Amino acid sequence: METLHNLVFGMGVALSWQNIVYCFIGCVLGTLVGVLPGIGPVATVAMLLPFTFKLGPAPALIMLAGIYYGAQYGGSTTAILVNIPGESSSVVTTIDGYQMARRGRAGPALGIAAIGSFFAGCVATVVVALFAPPLAEVALKFSPVEYFSLMVFGLVAAIVLARGSLIKALAMVCVGLLLGMIGTDVNSGVIRFAFGAPELADGIGFVSLAMAFFGMTDVILNLENPEQKGVFAAAIGRVLPSLEDIRTSAWAILRGTGLGLILGILPGGGALLASFAAYMLEKKVAKPPRHFGEGDIRGVAAPESANNAGAQTSFIPMLTLGIPSNPTMALMIGALMIQGIAPGPQVMTERPDLFWGLIASMWVGNLMLLVLNLPLIGIWVRLLNVPYRLLFPSIYVFCCIGVYTVDTKIFDVYELAALTMLGYLFLKLDCESAPMILGFILGPMMEENLRRALMIAQGDASVFVTRPISASFLIAAVALLIAIAAPSLRAKREEVMTE
């Protein structure tokens, strides 16, 4: 009952007309930018951050959440219509979605994606409301010892579930941790790693880092390999799926939602893993006749529901533990910090308006996407035809203005230029950016918790293995590493990731 009471309280926050407007603007802007080819949700959120600076924490977070959902949905639209996944979590949607579009069924594909997402979003909202508070209460009892071990586990899990080489991902976490240490050390007041630039006393701005690694480098890569893909804009047809379509996909939506809910909570999992797993499951259990790969509507319904459910439950670790499970959540935490709020379990008790308002706005955002996207699909499609020649300078302009307006510091613009070069180098050497940004956000918190833990234990590091909760986190982390290093599992993981 308390949950219901809290949700009603949250609705009160989310449904204030001011917050509805921000949520709406967020959804529109998110979709608008997310539809543009080659811009993923991380870059979208980073680019649109400046729009939230002047708002209070609650409206800012609500608007960012709207942007995130919009960007997710925009990504699915390009996946279906152009065969370009706007982001990794809609990669599987391209398989059957694009085939449906080629067979003149783009409309129903987009429609079922929206309906599946909405259903998944509704369920996920309730799940977040039910499970976040107890988890936050447990987390409130954690001492720095448990916190440190939890962060180690979170980082390990995040890379295990990511793509690519494990060792390189671990190394990238370390790179992120080191970059996070640049600036003034809170304990001693010493300015570390400023490389002679006094401006670096405040550390590297996470907005410039995220934009350089997720926005600018992607654009540069696109400029290196110019290729055009055909847009099936002409034949969208009616957007509403037929009754039969809905009947066929009902189970797929349910299964996708269930999988997404669970996988979204896992660190590093989030939307990406959820959509892959849902598609694989559907291929195995869907009722024949199956036409996967040739435009089966269930091949769109399941992963789209799963990725939306996962996108939403990935807020749970962020809200309750202050630990990002993926780069987008890292951005959300960064946005909270800009607003002067330290993310963590105390947010729920200290800022209930923020906590419950955000949860309620998830549902509002999903509803908005449904009513916004289906009628407006024609406009989004037209955006797909904007030539890259016009697009990329516009992206540059928004990135540069965005970076500058965080602190109104010119130095941040130069920082963006430098980090862009670094990001490009990493990209060319197949080093993933996602683990780096997680390390960057968690770095200062890890150092602080380690310091406090060791101080309490009087320098005895064995405290991490003698405390049961802390020990179980560390054992889980080691087990994950061993499991993934084992040859058989490793082959399986690569198989799933490349498919």
Partner 1 sequence: MRLRSPKDFWAGLLFIGIAVLFMGFATQYRFGEAQRMGPGYFSIMVGAVLAGLGAIVAIRSLAIDGPPVERFVARPLLVTVAAIVLFGLALDHLGLAAAIAVLVIVSAFAEREVRIGTSVALAALLILFSVAAFVWVLGLPLQVWPEW
User: Interface residues with partner 1 (CB under 8 A)?
Assistant: 50-51, 53-54, 165, 167-168, 170-171, 174-175, 177-178, 181, 185, 187-188, 190, 192-193, 195, 216, 219-220, 223-224, 226, 389-390, 392-394, 396-397, 400-401, 404-405, 408, 410, 413-414, 416-417, 420-421, 424-426, 428-431, 446-447, 450-451, 454-455, 458-461
Q: What is the smallest separation between the CB atom of 418 and partner 1, expressed in angstroms?
A: 8
Q: What is the smallest separation between the CB atom of 166 and partner 1, expressed in angstroms?
A: 10
Q: What is the smallest separation between the CB atom of 181 and partner 1, expressed in angstroms?
A: 5
In the complex with partner 1, the residue whose CB is nearer, 279 or 404, is 404
Collapsing DSSP to helix, strand or coil, 192 comes out as strand
In the complex with partner 1, the residue whose CB is nearer, 271 or 419, is 419
Q: What is the smallest separation between the CB atom of 241 and partner 1, expressed in angstroms?
A: 36
Q: What is the smallest separation between the CB atom of 415 and partner 1, expressed in angstroms?
A: 9
In the complex with partner 1, the residue whose CB is nearer, 187 or 242, is 187
In the complex with partner 1, the residue whose CB is nearer, 157 or 271, is 157
In the complex with partner 1, the residue whose CB is nearer, 340 or 459, is 459
In the complex with partner 1, the residue whose CB is nearer, 281 or 403, is 403
Q: What is the smallest separation between the CB atom of 177 and partner 1, expressed in angstroms?
A: 5
In the complex with partner 1, the residue whose CB is nearer, 417 or 483, is 417
| Cα distances (angstroms) measured from residue 282 to each of 231, 257, 275, 370 | 27, 12, 11, 24
Q: What is the smallest separation between the CB atom of 229 and partner 1, expressed in angstroms?
A: 18
Q: What is the smallest separation between the CB atom of 194 and partner 1, expressed in angstroms?
A: 9
Residue 183: phi and psi, rounded to 5, are: 120, -170
- Among all chains, which residue has been given the structure tokens 């209070």? 56
In the complex with partner 1, the residue whose CB is nearer, 198 or 289, is 198
